[in-house]
A and B are shown apart, each in its own frame.
Chain A
């Protein structure tokens, strides 16, 4: 059965800390891995990763994929209170363009 696992499930850090969120997957016919940020409402897209070893970066956020070990990490440097959110990992499959599988999410709280 295809699945996506995230760790930790929740995390509390202080402003300025660096955090690493983990996503591992067991999915047949992997096509892409996506990261979303969910604050109070709708998830918003962060990154889509399809190739191993190529880092994607946006400001203080970065992510990388390891297709051999079947995982991805999302790094956030110099965290701010505005980074507090649930971070969702999802995996798309080649044979199923119509669906992606979501992990349970990591709830990040950044305290001043």
Chain B
């Protein structure tokens, strides 16, 4: 099992460019999450999904969109990147019951 994987691992964008981050999990988990992590702020939830075809807003959703067309994949999109979106992005998944989340290795995004 690969667990939770994320692509790409690093990316540099210019202000106004767009990109999509891909998260994939092979554990058949129902719930998937996108977080961003900034120094001193812990993990903040951007968007999440409770099942295939569903998405919902988290704590800091502005400037991001997501899609969950397949159960194993959760995509995070930035339509027009801003420097404030420079961060490390983590994807996580979990089973329907219980709270233990399994995290991907992260994507470090820099917006110039």
Contacts and interface: CB of A to CB of B under 8 A. Distances in A.
Interface of A: 4, 9, 31-32, 34, 41-45, 48, 88, 90, 92, 97-100, 102-105
A41 B42 contact: no
A22 to B, nearest CB: 15
Contact of A48 (B45, B97, B100, B102): B100
Contact of B48 (A42, A88, A98): A98
Contacts, number: 51
B74 interface: no
B112 interface: no
A93 to B, nearest CB: 9
Contacts of B41: 104
Contact of B42 (A45, A88, A97): A88
B46 to A, nearest CB: 11
Interface of B: 4, 31, 33, 35, 40-45, 48, 50, 56, 58, 90, 96-106
A99 B58 contact: yes
A45 to B, nearest CB: 5
A42 B104 contact: yes
Contacts of B45: 99
Contact of A9 (B40, B48, B56, B105): B40
Given A45-B100, A48-B99, A104-B41, 6 more contacts: A43-B43, A92-B99, A98-B31, A98-B48, A103-B42, A104-B40
B106 A100 contact: no
A100 B98 CA distance: 11
B51 to A, nearest CB: 10
A105 B99 contact: no
Contacts of B42: 4, 88, 102-105
Given A34-B99, A92-B99, A98-B56, A42 B105 contact: yes
B100 A34 contact: yes
